[in-house]
């Protein structure tokens, strides 16, 4: 361990109250959190302490100007009970990619990983034992200056808390392709995991829900033609045996999903034909009309892989084959679940055993 992280353990664990067989997503919180403060140009006051509220000045800049970025990652238990992390370094890098876009300071990547090992090690009992469930890890950073003018904050707080979770989407989902609102335009913040991106998507998502759809399928901001992503996931189409997904690096408007990246590696390695390229909603409609749209699925840390059963676009509604007839999405999901459970050889080197703390000071 390179960093000095103070540890203050709770005297009253809430673990006995948790029912691991009835976990909904994001409602239950583990005992501890990691906190660091950015002051005078450096990260300091590194600590793990009992999860608690923060006092908030009414002028806290994040609340007014939205300098807030976050990550979502997962810890799981292997079949023989060992706590495991999935690609933590990738999440550290992506947090800093997001922070840079919002003129926030970088958080040291090795400290990010070390803090997660220590926190998850301390709260390892909170990792649900069931395959498919996980300990969701939420690192985030926000501006803390009490200041009313518009400029980057000079102080920030970085926090990691964790939640035992079941599946984000327990059932296949329906999508409404959005033709009025946009999520992201080139040059904007769409490829950052910025809190404000989610705020801007709330109203369209609410309107889609009122029309009976689970989520919005976002189209590009210029022509409302090219598919970007779903509010909570990246998106994959299987057309005539080929797996097609938009390319975040080319578009500059799409979140660089780590589950997306993992699934691309897995599918290529398994011999699937995979294309990372622009795909228009018209191409999807045409494939559906020709009976070539075999499946659609979303990928994300929270969702892992969520099969799509229906997509609406203008006056058309495309109903997709039932999950029992889908092979790519279910295969990708079970591959990732098996990797996380240590039931499949980790040929990509993505799964990292949690370094359990030797001793902790009170």
**Can you give the binding site for ligand COI, defined by CB under 6 A?**
72, 232, 300-302
Considering beta carbons, is residue 140 or 335 the nearer one to ligand COI? Answer: 140
Q: Which one, of 39, 40, 135, 153, lies nearest residue 99 by Cα?
A: 153
Beta bridge partners of 194: 69
Considering beta carbons, is residue 281 or 305 the nearer one to ligand COI? Answer: 305
Least distance to ligand COI from the beta carbon of 181, Å?
A: 17
* Number of neighbours of residue 137 by Cβ within 10 angstroms: 25
Considering beta carbons, is residue 161 or 224 the nearer one to ligand COI? Answer: 161
Considering beta carbons, is residue 72 or 204 the nearer one to ligand COI? Answer: 72
Least distance to ligand COI from the beta carbon of 348, Å?
A: 20
Least distance to ligand COI from the beta carbon of 101, Å?
A: 16
CB burial readout 246-256, b (16+ within 10 A) else e: bebeebebbbb
Least distance to ligand COI from the beta carbon of 206, Å?
A: 15
Closest residue to ligand COI, Cβ-based? 72
Least distance to ligand COI from the beta carbon of 258, Å?
A: 9
Least distance to ligand COI from the beta carbon of 307, Å?
A: 16
CA distance 135 to 198: 22
Considering beta carbons, is residue 46 or 299 the nearer one to ligand COI? Answer: 299
Least distance to ligand COI from the beta carbon of 339, Å?
A: 17
Considering beta carbons, is residue 194 or 318 the nearer one to ligand COI? Answer: 194
Considering beta carbons, is residue 194 or 302 the nearer one to ligand COI? Answer: 302
């Amino acid at each position: 361990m390179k960093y000095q992280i103070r540890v203050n353990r709770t005297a009253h664990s809430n673990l006995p109250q948790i029912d691991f067989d009835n976990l909904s997503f994001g409602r239950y919180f583990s005992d501890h959190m990691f906190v660091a403060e950015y002051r005078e140009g450096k990260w300091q006051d590194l600590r793990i302490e009992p999860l608690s509220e923060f006092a908030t000045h009414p002028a806290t800049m994040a609340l007014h100007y939205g300098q807030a970025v976050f990550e979502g990652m997962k810890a799981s238990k292997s079949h023989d009970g060992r706590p495991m992390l999935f690609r933590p370094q990738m999440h550290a890098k992506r947090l800093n990619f997001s922070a840079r876009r919002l003129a926030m300071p970088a958080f040291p990547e090795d400290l990010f990983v070390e803090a997660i090992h220590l926190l998850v090690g301390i709260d390892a009992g909170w990792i649900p034992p069931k395959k498919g469930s996980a300990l969701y890890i939420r690192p985030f950073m926000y501006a803390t200056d009490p200041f009313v003018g518009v400029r980057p904050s000079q102080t920030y707080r970085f926090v990691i808390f964790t939640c035992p979770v079941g599946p984000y989407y327990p059932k296949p989902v329906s999508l409404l392709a959005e033709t009025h609102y946009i999520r992201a335009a080139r040059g904007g913040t769409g490829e950052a995991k910025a809190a404000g991106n989610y705020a801007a998507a709330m109203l369209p998502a609410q309107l889609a829900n009122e029309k009976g759809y689970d989520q919005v399928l976002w189209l590009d901001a210029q022509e409302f033609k090219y598919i970007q992503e779903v509010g909570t996931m990246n998106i994959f189409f299987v057309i005539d045996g080929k797996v097609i997904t938009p390319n975040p690096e080319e578009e500059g408007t799409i979140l660089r999903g780590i589950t997306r990246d993992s699934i691309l590696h897995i599918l290529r390695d398994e011999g699937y034909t995979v294309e990372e390229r622009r795909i228009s909603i018209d191409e999807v409609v045409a494939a559906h009309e020709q009976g070539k749209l075999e499946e659609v699925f979303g990928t994300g840390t929270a969702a892992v892989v969520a099969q799509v059963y229906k997509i609406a676009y203008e006056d058309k509604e495309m109903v997709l084959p039932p999950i029992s007839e889908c092979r790519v999405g279910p295969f990708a999901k079970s591959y990732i679940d098996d990797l996380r459970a240590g039931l499949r050889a980790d040929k990509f080197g993505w799964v990292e055993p949690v370094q359990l703390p030797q001793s902790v000071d009170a």
